[in-house]
Structure 1
Amino acid sequence: MPQGTEAPAGTMAEGPTSHTQKQAGGLAKLREEFPASLIQALPKLWCKRCSDSRNKVCEDHRKAKCNDCGNYITTAHVDLSYVGHAELTHRLLDADPLWDWEPVAFDQRGLPQFDENGGLWIRLTVCGHSRLGYGDSQGKKGPNAVKEAIGDALRNAAMRFGAALDLWAKSDLREAQTEHPKTADDDAHYTPAPRQAASSPSASKPAIAAEASSGDDPLPRLVDQYKDCWGNPTALLQIRIDGKKQGVSDRSVQGPPPGNEWMTFDALLEARIGELRAAQGGDTERSAA
């Protein structure tokens, strides 16, 4: 006797069926946090002169081994956290062994249609639900560029289902670096300092100093990041969250002029985020998780 296929729950069904429960379980699986061992660091240059340089470093910066991404790269970069194509595929299979994707449009040869920016729109289907995603290869060419665009589109579409959603917040840093490029005059100088109560930072240039630190201390890197993102509340919020995770929230940093007062890393960012949101008419009460 042929095996039947379970039908999806109808609108008149009393409570969830095994079908809908299986869908809910699969979609919930996508939202689970990725273990730290599967999270990779993607370096992004924020200095245009470094990016345009033949050696990928300008005269205002230097190359050094990055403890986060592991690359020997200009110090004028930020590391974004992401999960790779293989790790995401593994998670999709855990959620739905029959997941699938397709391009939104095809060209005259029947191949996926890339847009004028070299990007690809796709439709990702998991547990019977579809979401759109967009990916590109950052201007690269060739077969590997196509595969990179597909992987990027899959990550983007999976994010719509909640996959690695916490990591995607870091992508705001890329936009912030473009909007607020760093100059050679912004390089931080680190000196020992006492810890003092927080005061409100001004809209001028941010902290110019922080407590003395060891070579693997995350504080100098985070200070560099928030200086570059001083006008972007979303990016500052993510940096504040990173500071909590890396245990530097109560470390002292020097605030911007004219006061140049010392305060905790967390208090400085909390006050600045509040100022920016008040200026934008936004929610000034939101704080880091």
Structure 2
Amino acid sequence: MVATTEALASTMAEGPTSHTQNQAVRPANTFGYTREQQIEALHRLREPFAPTEVRHLPRVWCKACKNAGWKGCQQHPVSKCSKCKQKMPRDGHIDLAYVGHAEATNRLLNVDPFWDWEPLTVDERGLPTLDGYRGLWIRLTVCGMTRLGYGHAGDKTGGDAIKEIIGDAIRNAGMRFGMALDLWTSSDLEIIESGGASVDEGQESTGERAEQPASGPVRELEKLKAKVNAGWNNVLSCEQNLAEARQKELLDELVAVGEQQVRVEDLLSNRIATLKAAQGGDTERSAA
């Protein structure tokens, strides 16, 4: 049965994004990998992580709970959470799913034993240079494909901060390849369902829970749309999304583009043809 969904995000626009415009130009080098092998590598990178590999980071969204400290508020008493395994205000916090540095490294090694990363800039000693926010920009190369990533350690200092920055940058760059992208999407849904626009800003809850996310084919289509948006300017990502749509039998699903309803297969096929014509077959552009 053909389903009709809401319009795709406005990021589906023609032309390069600011990210691709500002990315440092590097000579194309596929290191002997064919296009088919690169697409297969992207598929493997985007495979869901096992539940045992996924961790959960608790974030209190209820302002009253924050003001009450660890005691919670009247509506959200404190109890041990089955996800994050910590004592948190029940229903007053969310658990953001993520994978750690070790799990991300293991996935990269399984896909490409010769994967590598390098800092975008170095100082006179050849050491990675942090930016004005004490963050690090890196290049991550997997199967001859290179994309940018950014890492930050928050309030950490010293050697632990450096390790945190590197791990965060690798995970961030890996997400540009689609690694653990479904966890980012599910975490966004968690934030929406919490009743607040931002858990970090501590906005007060309206007292009403948002509508539960769709399940089944509709949920799969929403996840695919997020991936399409992320890889809209990358021909390899579009090809991979088309293959995934075929595998999950989503080719005939309809999405709204402007005032028109377009089949997923037609949308991606036309986009792939447009990118190949505009880039002359260059697949080294990064997804937005």
Rounded Cα–Cα distance in structure 2 between residues aligned with 1:23 and 1:92:
13
Gapped regions of structure 2 (runs ≥ 5): 1-28, 218-256, 262-288
Task: Please give the residue correspondences for 1:86-235 in structure 2 after superposition, counting only pairs within 5 Å.
Answer: 86-172=102-188, 173=190, 176-178=197-199, 181-183=203-205, 186=207, 206=208, 223=209, 226=210
- 1:176–1:20: structure 2 CA closer, same or farther, 3 Å change rule? same
TM-score (norm 2): 0.54
- 1:160–1:64: structure 2 CA closer, same or farther, 3 Å change rule? same
Rounded Cα–Cα distance in structure 1 between residues aligned with 2:64 and 2:46:
39
- Partner amino acid for 2:203? P
Q: How many residues align?
A: 188
1:171: Cα distance to partner? Answer: 3.9
Aligned to 1:36: 51
- Percent identity over the alignment is 45
Rounded Cα–Cα distance in structure 1 between residues aligned with 2:169 and 2:177:
13
Rounded Cα–Cα distance in structure 1 between residues aligned with 2:88 and 2:48:
29
Rounded Cα–Cα distance in structure 1 between residues aligned with 2:88 and 2:127:
37
Higher normalized contact order (CA 8 Å, seq sep 6+, divided by chain length): 2
- 1:126–1:51: structure 2 CA closer, same or farther, 3 Å change rule? farther
Contact 2:33 2:143 in 1 (8 A): no
Secondary structure of 2:197's aligned partner: helix
Contact 1:30 1:91 in 2 (8 A): yes
After superposition, the C-alpha distances for 1:165-196 in whole angstroms (9 at most, x for unaligned) are: 1111134355832467225x73xxxxxxxxxx
- 1:118–1:56: structure 2 CA closer, same or farther, 3 Å change rule? farther
Aligned to 1:82: 98
Q: Quick check: 1:25 aligned with 2:40?
A: yes
Secondary structure of 1:176's aligned partner: coil
1:68: Cα distance to partner? Answer: 1.1
- 1:70–1:128: structure 2 CA closer, same or farther, 3 Å change rule? same
TM-score (norm 1): 0.53
Secondary structure of 2:150's aligned partner: strand
Gapped regions of structure 1 (runs ≥ 5): 1-7, 10-16, 187-205, 207-222, 227-235, 246-280
After superposition, the C-alpha distances for 1:235-275 in whole angstroms (9 at most, x for unaligned) are: x6xx514x779xxxxxxxxxxxxxxxxxxxxxxxxxxxxxx
1:49: Cα distance to partner? Answer: 6.9
1:35: Cα distance to partner? Answer: 2.0
- 1:74–1:114: structure 2 CA closer, same or farther, 3 Å change rule? farther
- 1:18–1:81: structure 2 CA closer, same or farther, 3 Å change rule? closer
Secondary structure of 2:155's aligned partner: coil
Rounded Cα–Cα distance in structure 2 between residues aligned with 1:81 and 1:151:
16
- Partner amino acid for 1:182? E
Rounded Cα–Cα distance in structure 1 between residues aligned with 2:63 and 2:148:
31
Superposition RMSD on alpha carbons, in Å? Answer: 3.7
The structure with more radius of gyration: 1
Aligned to 2:213: 240
1:102: Cα distance to partner? Answer: 1.0
Match of 1:45 among 50, 60, 63: 60
- 1:21–1:73: structure 2 CA closer, same or farther, 3 Å change rule? same
